[in-house]
């Protein structure tokens, strides 16, 4: 009798764990592209970087925010934000909430030395209609901030240079970031044996322009679909793994997006914690 009770108890316990596992798998955070909903939209979406204060002799504090609001409550709202420091990934933040119209992300971080900070965010909403019809909306936002932290001058921060001193620092920081990223992207393109001449290259941080401007030889409708599916793959393969990495172990740089000039596919190249990755998205219009 005791053996039968133990056997039944084991089966019940296994079933419970199985159900919990399935539920967890089905509710894991993910960004999924669905056809664009023309009936809803974002009332606003933005990303901001601001210098808050100096922290001691050789460090300072940065405020990093991402906000968005849709014109109605949605089945699911999701935002993801990536911060780069001189081209290197500094942090990833994401949030998903059911039954809301608003997402707010805020992070305060301590940094040191002169830097060019860039943030890009993806704002996403999922709308469920009767008869299992699902649609979505999305937008991108970005911001940047130059911070001058020099022993010989007061701490300074700006978005657009306004005097000769700031212009010199902007040129220096832009050149430093560009040289590092060009070397990194060339290494990735070589590793995957890609013919760069066959593609139009766009750094992930510059992708925002195609939120309101069609990609070459595409309509805005086609562009919206391509961008939505691009972020779907990026979220799963780059954002989630990066977010699950301890900050002191996180090593990555701005991903490069390669748009095939024949309008057949795109590639996203990146390296995360020493592992080179290539995402391929075939177009289907």
How far from the centroid of its chain's Cα atoms is residue 241's Cα? 12
- At 154 the pLDDT is 87
Q: What is the mean pLDDT of residues 231-256?
A: 94
Pair 173, 146: CB distance under 8 Å: yes
Q: Which residues pair with 47 in a beta bridge?
A: 66
Write down the mean pLDDT value for the chain: 89
Position 151 confidence tier, pLDDT thresholds 50, 70, 90: confident
Which tokens hold the place of 244?
Answer: 């699950």
pLDDT band at 1 (very low <50, low <70, confident <90, very high): very low
Higher local confidence (pLDDT), 14 or 233: 233
Q: What is the pLDDT of residue 19?
A: 35
Q: Looking at the chain, which runs of residues are DSSP E strands? A: 42-55, 59-85, 88-111, 115-129, 133-148, 156-158, 199-203, 256-260, 265-272, 275-282
d(CA 26, CA 204): 29
Alpha-carbon span 125 to 197, nearest angstrom: 36
Mean pLDDT, rounded, for 177-192: 97
Query: Using one digit for the tens of pLDDT, what is the confidence trace for 38-58?
Result: 999 999 999 999 999 876 667
Window from 11-15, 74-78, 110-114, 183-187 with minimum mean pLDDT: 11-15
| 17 has a pLDDT exceeding 70 | no
Mean per-residue pLDDT, 155-175: 95
**Which pLDDT tens digit goes with each residue over 60-114?**
999 999 999 999 999 999 999 999 999 999 999 999 999 999 999 999 999 999 9
Distance (Å, whole) CA 127 – CA 136:
6
Determine whether 23 is exposed, middle or buried from the number of CB atoms within 10 Å of its CB (0-12, 13-18, 19+).
exposed
pLDDT band, very low/low/confident/very high, at 204 (cuts 50, 70, 90): very high
Of the candidates 34, 50, 61, the one whose C-alpha atom is nearest the C-alpha of residue 225 is 34
> If pLDDT is split at 50, 70 and 90, which confidence band does 9 have?
very low
3-state secondary structure of 130: coil
pLDDT (average), residues 195-224: 96
The Cα–Cα gap between 81 and 158 comes to 21
Residue 35 phi, psi (nearest 5) = -50, 140
CA atoms of 269 and 147, how far apart (whole Å): 28
């Amino acid at each position: 009798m005791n053996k039968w009770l133990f056997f039944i108890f084991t089966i019940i316990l296994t079933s419970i764990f199985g159900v919990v596992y399935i539920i967890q798998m089905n509710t894991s955070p993910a960004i999924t592209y669905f056809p664009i909903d023309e009936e809803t939209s974002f009332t606003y979406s933005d990303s901001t970087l601001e210098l808050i204060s100096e922290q001691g002799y050789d460090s300072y504090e940065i405020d990093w925010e991402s906000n968005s609001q849709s014109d109605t409550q949605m089945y699911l709202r999701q935002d993801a934000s990536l911060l780069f420091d001189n081209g290197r990934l500094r942090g990833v933040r994401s949030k998903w909430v059911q039954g809301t119209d608003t997402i707010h992300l805020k992070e305060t971080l301590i940094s040191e030395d002169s830097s060019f900070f860039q943030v890009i965010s993806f704002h996403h909403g999922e709308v469920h209609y009767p008869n299992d019809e699902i649609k979505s909306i999305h937008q991108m936002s970005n911001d940047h901030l130059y911070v001058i932290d020099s022993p010989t001058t007061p701490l300074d921060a700006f978005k657009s240079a306004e005097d000769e001193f700031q212009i010199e620092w902007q040129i220096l920081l832009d050149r430093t970031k560009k040289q590092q990223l060009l070397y990194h992207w060339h290494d990735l393109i070589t590793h995957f044996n890609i013919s760069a001449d066959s593609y139009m290259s766009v750094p992930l941080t510059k992708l925002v322009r195609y939120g309101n401007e069609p990609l070459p030889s595409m309509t805005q409708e086609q562009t919206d679909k391509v961008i939505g599916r691009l972020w779907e793959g990026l979220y799963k393969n780059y954002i989630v793994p990066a977010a699950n990495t301890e900050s002191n172990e996180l090593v990555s740089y701005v991903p490069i997006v390669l748009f095939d000039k024949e309008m057949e596919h795109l590639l996203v190249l990146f390296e995360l914690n020493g592992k080179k990755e290539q995402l391929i998205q075939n177009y289907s219009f």
